[in-house]
Amino acid sequence: MTLWWIGNAILLFVVFPVVVALLNRVLSAVERIRWAADDILAGGGRLAGQLEPVPGLLATTDATVHQVAVGATRYAGSVAKLLP
């Protein structure tokens, strides 16, 4: 019976504080991850608000890409005439 009380005392004064300390470290890390995730979510929300003009900008991009393609084709044609 004495060994039972010694085991209980060791559990209460050694094991339990170690478990509480480890749990505290894990929970503080989880809180930091939660705060970082909340910041990421807020930044994503702000970014989504900035994406509204993108379709209009892409409409002008098609014309620009076409102009660059025409210029590149003319340049390649001129280089092809210069090379034997």
Per-residue model confidence as pLDDT tens digits over 38-60: 999 999 989 988 888 888 877 78
Distance CA 64, CA 36 (A): 40
Tokens of 68: 């660059």
Is pLDDT at 84 greater than 80 in this prediction?
no
pLDDT, residue 1, reads 85
Phi/psi region, residue 63 (left: phi>0; alpha: psi -120 to 50; beta: rest), is alpha
Q: CA distances (Å), 68 to each of 49, 75, 79, in order? A: 31, 10, 16
73: nearest Cα among 65, 61, 84, 83: 65
- pTM equals 0.52
Instruction: Please report, for the chain, the start and end positions of each structural domain, with discontinuous segments joined by +.
Output: 1-52, 53-84
